[in-house]
């Protein structure tokens, strides 16, 4: 494929589609009910590339976390639009005619989602742990972290029982297979991607699992929260926790098959057995179309009709 330097790609599964992020582009490909694939591809440069200070270790992890949230919400909004409007509206309606409303909805959705996540995975565990009246700071934070891990795993398992979410998890598997094919410098087609695993060590699921574990260690260092101020201080450490977790993911990737690195990523791979499912060839096609667009390649994969759309009227 003519790759002279290592290029990192990654993505996210959405409703009947996949978002892929390349070095300079972000692409979202969604399968429509008529079998065709709609693709939106746009230039994207991380703030870490525009401002070098945000590319420093620890800081870059927090930046990646925030950018991933924003891109993820945008991708979900686009895939939801495709599911709710017909082909005629998609072709005629200028995308920028509703940009302001979309941005407001996206901002509200993101804020509400973050608040719900903070309550379930940070504040609720604190409330439950407080019921045990534990005096030891170490024991308090271990129990608090145990609740947080339990809630996270149970949440993942419960949503996996939802039929629509299972479809998303199949596209998640397609995303991983496509990324593996690229990393192995194989042709970006269905036949080349099909044999690869659905489990990838650089997955967001693995990242979130590491975040849960790192949060326990960081909160142990902070100590037991005695009042509301102490609990709010914990939230201020969330970007640091994300930064440390990101560096651990990068370190485990560089370490390859080192036993410590394998131990580090193993829980995330176990959890991916829930969050990824084997995709069919049509789902692989969608993921590969998104990946090829993100890499500025000809998007066509297989015999599906590929329709390009943009934010411009």
Mean pLDDT over the full length of the chain = 86
3 found inside a domain: no
For residue 129, which of 111, 112, 148, 115 has the smallest C-alpha distance? Answer: 148
Nearest CA-CA partner of 117 in 79, 155, 145, 63: 155
What is the token pair recorded at 33?
Answer: 């009910």
Write the pLDDT tens digit of every residue in 85-115: 644 454 444 444 456 666 677 677 778 887 8
Which residues touch 301 (CB under 8 Å, ≥6 apart)?
Answer: 188, 189, 190, 285, 288, 289, 292
252-296 per-position pLDDT tens digit: 777 767 787 778 788 989 999 999 999 999 999 999 999 999 999
What's the domain count of the chain? 1
Residue 184 lies in a domain: yes
Higher pLDDT pick, 79 / 175: 175
- Using DSSP's 3-state secondary structure scheme, residue 123 falls into helix
What pLDDT does residue 313 have? 41
Answer yes or no: is 5 within a domain: no
Q: In this structure, is residue 4 part of a structural domain?
A: no
Query: Which residues, 6 or more positions from 163, have their beta carbon under 8 angstroms from its beta carbon?
Result: none
Place of tokens 């009227």: 313
pTM of the full structure: 0.88
Per-residue pLDDT tens digits for 194-213: 999 999 988 988 898 999 99
* Cβ pair 207, 268 in contact under 8 A: yes
Q: Is the dihedral of CA 108, 112, 118, 123 positive or negative?
A: positive
Q: How large is the greatest C-alpha to C-alpha distance in the chain, in angstroms? A: 65
Domain span holding position 169? 10-309
Domain-embedded: residue 284: yes
Residue 131 has pLDDT above 80, yes or no: yes
Residue 185 lies in a domain: yes
């Amino acid at each position: 494929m003519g790759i002279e330097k290592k290029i990192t790609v990654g993505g996210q599964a959405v409703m009947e589609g996949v978002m892929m992020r390349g070095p300079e582009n972000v692409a979202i490909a969604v399968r429509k009910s008529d079998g065709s694939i709609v693709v939106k591809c746009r230039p994207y440069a991380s703030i870490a590339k525009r401002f070098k200070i945000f590319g420093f270790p620890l800081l870059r992890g927090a930046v990646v976390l925030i950018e991933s949230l924003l891109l993820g919400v945008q991708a979900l909004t686009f895939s939801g639009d495709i599911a709710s409007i017909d082909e005629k509206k998609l072709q005629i309606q200028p995308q920028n005619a509703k940009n302001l409303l979309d941005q407001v909805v996206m901002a509200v959705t993101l804020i509400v989602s973050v608040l719900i996540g903070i309550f379930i995975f940070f504040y609720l565990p604190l409330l439950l742990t407080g019921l045990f009246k534990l005096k030891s700071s170490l024991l308090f934070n271990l129990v608090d972290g145990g609740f947080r891990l339990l809630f996270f795993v149970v949440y993942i398992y419960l949503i996996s029982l939802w039929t629509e979410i299972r479809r998303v998890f199949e596209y998640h598997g397609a995303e991983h297979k496509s990324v593996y094919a690229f990393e192995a410098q194989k042709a970006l087609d269905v036949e080349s991607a099909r044999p690869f695993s659905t489990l990838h060590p650089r997955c967001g699921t693995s990242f979130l699992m590491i975040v849960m574990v790192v949060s326990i260690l960081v909160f142990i260092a902070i100590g037991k929260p005695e009042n509301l101020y102490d609990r709010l201080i914990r939230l201020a450490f969330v970007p640091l926790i994300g930064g440390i977790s990101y560096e651990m993911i990068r370190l485990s990737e560089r370490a390859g098959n080192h036993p410590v690195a394998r131990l580090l990523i193993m829980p995330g791979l176990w959890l991916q057995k829930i969050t990824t499912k084997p995709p069919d060839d049509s789902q692989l096609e969608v993921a590969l179309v998104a990946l090829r667009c993100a890499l500025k390649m000809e998007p066509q994969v297989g015999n599906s009709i590929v329709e390009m759309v943009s934010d411009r009227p």
